[in-house]
């Protein structure tokens, strides 16, 4: 189980998230939606302890490990994976080198380089990325869509059990959306991870049969629901839905 309790996040002394609560059981898919600038990426980065954000209150736990005091390395090794909204480029380090080092450090047994190469080729086919990308520098000079697929390459090789996808669908063309949707579905069927999907659209969600939706506004979750909520939001926007919902309580 992954759980966020009473989480307050600050950056530069400004409170960005206030009293956030979220529980995701193993194998569940949760979707986080919300207007621009409400703190969705902030939450994703804070789970991994990005130095820009401070946990002012509350706790984040995964499988009984308190993440608050762990380093990004330790958090990753518990099985968490973050796919960034804007993946950074690192010139001079190739995907292959990155993944080889990550696996070598994590595992006690040395990496079987033949198996590793075969697997890389296999994954490239699944995500429709030319094999040469394995030897390209991390996201360097890649197009927006290629970067997202490149990050999926990392995901498939590292095999996390808890995945955070921060707008993986932004910047993808129709064919790429289809490839990414199918790849994620395949990954889900193979490994049954928990997934937190941050998105503004329903397209990728349609690849999954069930999921829960949460709407983030003013630093906390204002509404939770199922599939229909995500559909409704995409159709009529946040304002209409949240206001309607408030009226229910009046």
Partner 1 sequence: MTIKNMNKLSLVGETSNLQDTNAFITINEDTTLNLSGKLTLYNYDTHNYNLELNLPSNTNCYLNLVKILTKDNYLNLNIGNDNNFTLELLIINEGNNNFHLNINISGDNNNVIIKARIINKNSKSSLNLICDGKVLTNTKDNNFIEDLKGLVTNTASITIKPNMFMDTNEVLANHLVTISSFNPDELFYLTTLGISLKEAQKMLINAFIYSIVNPIFKDLLNEEVIDIE
Ligand X SMILES: Nc1ncnc2c1ncn2[C@@H]1O[C@H](COP(=O)(O)OP(=O)(O)OP(=O)(O)O)[C@@H](O)[C@H]1O
List interacting residues with partner 1 (CB under 8 A).
48, 50-51, 71-73, 75-77, 81-82, 84, 87-88, 90-93, 97-98, 101-102, 105-106, 138, 154, 158
State the binding partner of 38 from Mg ion, partner 1, ligand X, none, CB within 5 to 8 A by kind: ligand X
**Strand 220-225 relative to strand 212-217, pairing:** antiparallel
Residue numbers 52-71 binding ligand X by CB under 6 A: 52
Q: Which residues bind Mg ion (CB under 5 A)?
A: 40-41, 85
| Euclidean distance between CA atoms 126 and 71, whole angstroms | 31
Give yes or no for residue 39 binding ligand X (CB under 6 A): yes
Near ligand X by CB under 6 A, which window of 30-38, 70-78, 87-95, 125-133? 30-38
Do 58 and 19 contact (CB within 8 A), yes or no?
yes
Q: 37 or 130, CB closer to ligand X? A: 37
Q: 57 or 85, CB closer to Mg ion? A: 85
Near ligand X by CB under 6 A, which window of 9-17, 140-148, 178-186, 223-231? 9-17
Q: 41 or 194, CB closer to Mg ion? A: 41
Q: 52 or 88, CB closer to ligand X? A: 52
| Burial (CB count <10 Å: 0-12, 13-18, 19+), residue 56 | middle
Q: Supply the minimum distance, in Å, between the C-beta of residue 14 and ligand X.
A: 6
| Euclidean distance between CA atoms 153 and 115, whole angstroms | 15
The neighbouring-strand residues paired with 23 are 3
Strands of the sheet containing 194-198, edge to edge, are 80-83, 162-166, 194-198, 29-33, 212-217, 220-225
Residue 28 phi, psi dihedral angles, 5° rounding:
-90, 155
Q: 16 or 242, CB closer to ligand X? A: 16
Q: Supply the minimum distance, in Å, between the C-beta of residue 87 and Mg ion.
A: 13
Give yes or no for residue 16 binding ligand X (CB under 6 A): yes
Q: Supply the minimum distance, in Å, between the C-beta of residue 145 and partner 1.
A: 19
* Residue 126 vs residues 176, 202, 217, 231: alpha-carbon distances, Å: 12, 22, 36, 28
State the binding partner of 88 from partner 1, Mg ion, ligand X, none, CB within 5 to 8 A by kind: partner 1
**230: helix, strand or coil:** helix
Do 17 and 43 contact (CB within 8 A), yes or no?
yes
């Amino acid at each position: 189980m992954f759980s966020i309790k009473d989480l307050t996040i600050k950056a530069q002394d400004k409170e960005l998230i206030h009293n956030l609560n979220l529980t995701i059981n193993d194998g569940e898919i949760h979707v986080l939606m919300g207007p621009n600038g409400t703190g969705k990426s902030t939450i994703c980065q804070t789970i991994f302890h990005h130095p820009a954000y401070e946990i002012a209150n509350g706790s984040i736990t995964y499988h009984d490990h308190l993440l608050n005091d762990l380093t990004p390395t330790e958090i990753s090794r518990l099985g968490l994976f973050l796919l960034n909204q804007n993946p950074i480029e690192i010139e001079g380090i190739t995907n292959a080198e990155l993944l080889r080092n990550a696996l070598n450090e994590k595992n006690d047994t040395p990496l079987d380089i033949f198996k590793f190469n075969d697997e890389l080729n296999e994954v490239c086919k699944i995500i429709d990325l030319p094999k040469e990308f394995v030897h390209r520098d991390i996201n360097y000079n890649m197009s927006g869509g290629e970067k997202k697929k490149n990050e999926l390459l990392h995901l498939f090789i590292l095999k996390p059990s808890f995945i955070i996808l921060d707008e993986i669908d932004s910047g993808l063309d129709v064919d790429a959306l289809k490839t990414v949707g199918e790849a994620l579905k395949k990954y889900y069927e193979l490994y049954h991870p928990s997934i937190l999907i941050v998105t503004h659209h329903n397209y990728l969600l349609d690849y999954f049969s069930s999921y829960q939706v949460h709407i983030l506004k003013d630093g906390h979750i204002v509404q939770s629901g199922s599939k229909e909520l995500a559909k409704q939001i995409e159709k009529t926007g946040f304002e209409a839905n949240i206001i309607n919902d408030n009226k229910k309580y009046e």
